[in-house]
Amino acid sequence: LFAVIVPELVCGGGAVGETTNVVQKDAEFDVTYNDTVTSENQTIYAFNHTISRNKTEGVRVTVDVLSQNLKSPILFVVRQQQAVLSFQVPLILRGLYQRKYPYNHVGRTLCQPPTRAISETQHFFIDVSTLSSQGTNYQLRVSRVESFTLQTDKKFSFTASPSQPQYFKYVFPDGVDTVIVKVNSAMNFPCSVMSIQDIQCPVYDLDNNVAFIGMYQTMTKKGAITVQRKDFPSNSFYVVVVVKTEDEACGGPLRFYPLRPDELIDAGNRSKVVDVVVSPAINSEVYVMGMLFCLGIFLSFYLLTLMVACLENKRTLSSEAITDSATFTDNNYGYMGKRSLDSVGRSRQESLSSVEEDDYDTLDDINSDKNIVRTKKFLCVSDLARKDKRVLSKKYQIYFWNIATIAVFYALPVVQLVITYQTLWGLNLLLVSCSAFNNILSNLGYVMLGLLFLLIVLKRDIVHNRAMVRNELNALECGIPKHFGLFYAMGTALMMEGLLSACYHVCPNYTNFQFDTSFMYMIAGLCMLKLYQKRHPDINASAYTAYACLAAVIFFSVLGVVFGKDNTVFWIVFSVIHILATLLLSTQLYYMGRWRLDAGVLRRMVYIVYTDCIRQCSGPMYIDRMVLLVMGNIVNWSLAAYGLIERPNDFASYLLAIAICNLLLYFAFYIIMKLRSGEKIKCLPLVCILFTAVVWGFALYFFFQGLSTWQKTPAESREHNRDCILLSFFDDHDIWHFLSSIAMFGSFLVLLTMDDDLDTVQRDKIYVF
């Protein structure tokens, strides 16, 4: 023990030339030193520490200030061979709005410098000083951290607080290039941060600087970061755990606004018990198995489709042979004799390029009698399939070309954005954690099955065109009119859903959730349009009108996501628009488009109510349509009321639920009316219906598992994370991707094949509903 008296310039009121006693002590580990410090004396504690290349021990400095109501803090400076650490006690940590939280108990771990020698003794010093003229009592203790190095697959528990952060070292073992650091706690709060930092000094281990370098995550109960050896030249890294001063970053309550800017706020007990486990990540074999499994599942659908196509082609050839034989032996052509097929064939050979829907409407007198035809009490498909097939074929092909154009203009900026972010962030998708690349890979099903559906539609389109060229009766005058443009658009939308969902899952968050939902709206809308088109080919919406309406839906989705949260005005406006749109669409469907929205619409409504409800009580002319529309209005009004009352945070999913509910209602109505009309469902569509219903049930089960959500903070979202359950690679959300893509493909097949039983039925005997 020795003392040195040196002259110093003392700030804060001290006089120039005032002397300060500097006392240096040889100190030891695991000894608690109770001392007093003033502005006139300064104490230096000298420690020596033996380090070895093969064993790493941490050194931890713990300080308690025993005096209360300090006017000046105590400054502690730790001088090491290659680093300097300084902190004051009470330690003042700031929160939002400059709130100040004092901590009298501080614990810090010293940065460990590397050594090349087998064993080396290093010295470090702790300087204790203050500007307060009054004596301040404190306790100082320096101890070794025996378990400073984390072991692979071994759980290690410790306690941390805002003023006592903890960090530990991990060294990559031989043969392991990627590990997953998992941090768990039984406590939601206080909010904490886990960080991965390189072995260098200083270590950023306070709330106000932990995000400066490395990788970090906020967490409540769970956190996990994948770490690669190639990112750390020393083949080792620090795992840093910091408890935040406030819980707002983790979705916790926000403390009151301070009335006085300099007021110190007692933070209370913010200690948190944490468990850390470092485990090897899955290896490349698991990735390969996952990719092969994904490809195998969806390639099996191609094989199954090929088998069904071969069987159908064989059956078709057999039936054609029988038909040709009957044609040569039977001179009674029945219904075919009533109409000259030559004239029909000639009309099919005319060029489509000069035909427009506005040129003519079907017959020369269509403008005078279509109002009568479309308002008949019982309509048949022949009544609503009067327009020229060339016109309608061109009209519905526009659906495909428009969505292809939309897809290009929408997807290119999205892909560019994702690639740019990947370059900036330096991420490697093939070696990220289970919650990233697997979620991207599992979207492959949408793309592959969408392409398969396009091939199936193309095959049917070719067969139908050949039948039209041969002037076959069934193709010309029987069955539901074949228009494939909407089917092509549906297949394209399914492929785009897979691509954009993959882009969303590269980094799923609040700002890019629209990537994952835009084409879902498209798919739901196109399916409803296709259902309506089946028996209303002449009066179905044009592609321009349909896509304009879908664009409006997406526009409202964006507004809802950005402004809809707890915004009463937005929900009132949206609910009113929703109800008005439902009423307008109901009127359009009920009157088959034979009404006008003009200045006299209110007068006509009053007149109808007076004549049909007051002067004479007559039921609706179109009972089936009325039943569907009443049910649809009940569902939509209920959904509008739910949105207005509950105001769900996830507006995009709420809007998608509205679309899906309407689609399911219309689909169920179509099936019921089809059976009610005496029509049958063939074996293939029936199998598709049952199979699709079962798959949708399982898919929704996995969808509602809720492994994450961007509606909450990232820390709260991680509470829902779970381990991968399929091949140690795919999680619940991946299974949702698998099953939902299969279910959508099955739903498309149902729409494609549902009316195959009508292919030999004359259109004037097929009812419209």
- Domains of the chain, by residue range, sit at 19-145, 149-281, 293-565+649-765
What's the whole-model pTM score? 0.79
Contacts 24+ apart (CB under 8 A), 647-653: 647/564, 647/565, 647/566, 647/567, 647/568, 647/571, 649/565, 649/711, 650/709, 650/711, 651/557, 651/560, 651/561, 651/564, 651/565, 652/513, 652/514, 652/517, 652/557, 652/560, 652/561, 653/517
Beta strands across the sheet bearing 58-65: 32-37, 136-145, 58-65, 105-109
Answer whether 194's CB lies under 8 Å from 219's CB. yes
The DSSP output letter for 575 is: H
What span, in angstroms and rounded, lies between the C-alpha atoms of 456 and 6?
A: 93
Stated as kind and residue range, the H or E segment containing 324 is helix 284-329
Sequence letter at residue 218: T
At 604, is the pLDDT very low, low, confident or very high (cuts 50, 70, 90)? Answer: low
pLDDT of residue 601: 63
What span, in angstroms and rounded, lies between the C-alpha atoms of 36 and 32?
A: 13
At 511, is the pLDDT very low, low, confident or very high (cuts 50, 70, 90)? Answer: confident
What span, in angstroms and rounded, lies between the C-alpha atoms of 661 and 582?
A: 13
Higher pLDDT among residues 419 and 639, named by residue:
639
pLDDT of residue 446: 94
- For residue 32, which phi and psi values (nearest 5 degrees)? -90, 125
Answer whether 274's CB lies under 8 Å from 183's CB. yes
Most confident of 304-318, 375-389, 422-436, 693-707: 693-707
Answer whether 663's CB lies under 8 Å from 529's CB. no
CATH number of 19-145: 2.60.120.380
CATH number of 149-281: 2.60.120.380
Q: Does residue 90 have a cis bond before it (omega within 30 degrees)?
A: yes
Most confident of 137-146, 337-346, 354-363: 137-146
**What does the pLDDT look like over 144-201, one tens digit per residue?**
888 888 999 999 999 999 999 999 999 999 888 889 999 999 988 899 999 999 988 8
Place of tokens 């951290």: 145
Q: Work out the number of other CB atoms within 10 angstroms of the CB of residue 215.
A: 15
Q: Does 273 have pLDDT greater than 50?
A: yes
pLDDT of residue 260: 66
Q: pLDDT averaged over the chain? A: 81
pLDDT of residue 108: 92
**What does the pLDDT look like over 556-597, one tens digit per residue?**
888 888 887 778 888 999 999 999 988 888 887 777 656 566
Q: Does 653 have pLDDT greater than 80?
A: yes
pLDDT of residue 325: 52
Nearest-10 Cα torsion for 241, 245, 249, 254: 160
Identical fold, 19-145 and 149-281: yes
